[in-house]
Chains A and B, each alone.
Chain A
Amino acid sequence: MIETASPQKTALFDLHVAQGGRMVDFAGYELPVQFSGIVAEHEHTRTQASLFDVSHMGQITVSGDDDLTTLSALEAIFPGNLKNLKPGGMRYTVLLNENGGIEDDLIVTRPADGQAAKGTIFIVVNAARKHHDLAVMQLELGGQLSFELHEEKSLLALQGPMAATVLSNLCDAPLKLSFMQSMPANIKGIACQVSRCGYTGEDGFELSVASGTAAKLAQVLYEDERVQPAGLGARDSLRLEAGLCLYGHDMNDEIDPVSANILFAIGKQRRTDGGFVGDDAILSLIKQGVKNTRVGIVFEGRMPVREGAQIINNEGKQIGTITSGTFGPTFGAPIAMGYVPAAMADIGTPISALVRGKSVTGRVTQLPFVPQNYARKPGI
């Protein structure tokens, strides 16, 4: 893996700077952490539509003989049920190691009919893991499939309850797609792939586009006054309120998907059949139960309880750890996710955490903190 010393610029860098973005180095990319302010951007995403630059994420194309052959082969390394993906269908799953630890979380997309060469499958992975993932895929499946990481593509995420209305003025994708479906589109002459997904808990779309036309596409979207730029800060508070895990924080290569409470990343039949890297570990965890599990916690008062804070028992002994936490702008209270002993995972269980040496009280709370607002059927 080659890491460049100075962070890379995305195709939207100049636009971010012109819009007043405060740029930071994130996973090797210069990206905006905020524009007008995290809370304002967060609220705008919950009520209107925000545009996020997620071009740092890894866009990988997998090629095989035909769609089913490629998907079947990928099932050897991903526990998701991929073979039953329909054309234009998308699936959230994970890459596991032999111990069942999560190497990355990702989305597999089967292109719509006629969109790509037979046997082509798209995968989007986390920025910090893309070279690692590519190496693992090539090592495990290089004999049957070929893999290409598209550094020349950008990825824009239009998120919020107005996203579908905004996009429907530019293409018919919102009328054709429901949550976790994807299709090619042409927006004012710009070819892109539109997927109805995102990581904010709101309805929204991710637009994959050649980097050469990415800034133009963003400008077209900004012509609609309802669309405002949003940065990494709002992206983080939005996904936490939506109860979504962030790789490297709420999950890592020592945490398995059963403990992480993302069993939906593993196909139902595959939870008994196995047939994927890490299956021995996962199947036995499903059978025997996990020691610790990820829960949502709401704390009393206003003080944020952040990543790394110890969860303690009545004797002050550490029994768990907070993996994400902030003051939820929409929720209006300190919210967090963390790992606790499985016996303490029931909704309403009192939780104590240590912040700057002081104990704060909270309760295990249903995830998501803020209801998800996904489009269960096509339309606006």
Chain B
Amino acid sequence: MNTKPNILLVDDDELYLYLMEKTIHQLSKELVVSTFTDGEQAVEYIAECTKQNLDLPEVIFLDINMPFLDGWGFLNEFKKLKPKIINNINIYMVSSSMRNSDIKRASNFEELTGYVVKPVNKVQLAEIFKKIYQQNW
């Protein structure tokens, strides 16, 4: 495993970010986690990576409700960037919302791999990682 950040957390809740990072590290110390507190920063980062041909994260945990650019906004921007992206990026919508409208809206984005309801516990994370890192896990 290289040291490039392979997990991206995008959420305005800093406590959540702290806890997620902690949980992920409990699962594997090898995973590199980066965080952004809003969608705008995350989009800028991905755009920068694409531009400079840097490696992109394999998993993004995306919150819906964020200032400046929310989860939906991020997805829209991501769509525009996608043709330039070679790697497969797994994006998980993570929200405390259990609203049907949100879930339905999420299903319309083919960029999304899944929809996870907060709180995300260790078991759920393990399953997600198992799917993604099958060979390496």
Q: Do A and B bind each other?
A: no
Chain A residues within CB distance 8 Å of chain B? none
Chain B residues within CB distance 8 Å of chain A? none
